Structure 1
């Protein structure tokens, strides 16, 4: 049994030692080449990831700028909408006020005309007579109230027969 153990150990050492010693140069060279290829691939992937990161960052900036521009446009549109609403409300109130004032004027017009007619009937008969005399003198061929020397109106003797009694 002891010999089997030694044989196994010896056999293992005999097989492993030449493998390790004999393949070292080839294995090292392959490992170095594989490490270099891996390093090159890793560098290319890192460069590609950095480039993609820069592109994503640039796109995010563009999106943020577009959002800001849309926000500004939305605010301008909202201000314009408010302006139109205020103008519409103001125009509506103005139209209602004009309509109300017009209605009041139409309603008060007959009252005003009636008041003027009643007021004229209250004038004295003397005023009416005086106006009639002045109008007749003005339209007559020989005016008696207007003299050329003073260029002013002056009442002369009016015959009592032309003045109606009060």
Structure 2
């Protein structure tokens, strides 16, 4: 705009100087002055507009930089959240696998324990028999056996041999009078 102003001003000045009448000269000078004032006003407005555009551009650039920084921050936060979600998903998958393995393994362990218990229970009588058979039993001498059998026969309630079904009117051996035993003075005679 300033490039156009200079030729217009020069043209007006030349016209003013070459004109014949002073009224015309004053009108032309007045028009040139008004034109110059308008041009100055326009230049002033243009400068203000350029300043506003420059400050608006600066604000726009600053706002763009802030928004980009916010986007970078949000992107980082999203990436952190994605990593956390991925980590939690991996933990959940590991727990799911562990539970599935446990579900498959527990019945097998229970069956194995049951079978081992059955084997132990079935071998227990054989172990007892083996222990009984492997013991060394000293044979009793004849005198001890005879005394044991006689005591059982004479007792009112025999332990080794069941009582014979006898006639209640018949006397049993303990019912007969017995002589006192010199070996056992504490026994009583009937």
Is the TM value for this pair above 0.5? yes
SS across alignment from 2:139:
coil
Deviation at 1:21, TM superposition (A): 3.2
> In structure 2, what is the Cα distance between the partners aligned to 1:21 and 1:90?
100
Q: Which 5+ residue runs of structure 1 have no aligned equivalent?
A: 1-15, 134-157
Instruction: Give the match for residue 118 of structure 2.
Output: 114
Matched, 1:88 2:117: no
- Give the structure-2-normalised TM-score: 0.54
> In structure 1, what is the Cα distance between the partners aligned to 2:99 and 2:77?
32
Matched, 1:77 2:81: yes
Matched, 1:49 2:27: no
Deviation larger for 110-119 or 92-101:
110-119
Deviation larger for 67-76 or 25-34:
25-34
> In structure 2, what is the Cα distance between the partners aligned to 1:41 and 1:30?
16
Instruction: Give the match for residue 160 of structure 1.
Output: 138
RMSD: 2.6
> In structure 2, what is the Cα distance between the partners aligned to 1:102 and 1:96?
10
> In structure 2, what is the Cα distance between the partners aligned to 1:112 and 1:75?
54
Output one character per residue of 1:49-72: Cα deviation in whole Å (capped at 9) or x when no partner: 111111111111111111111111
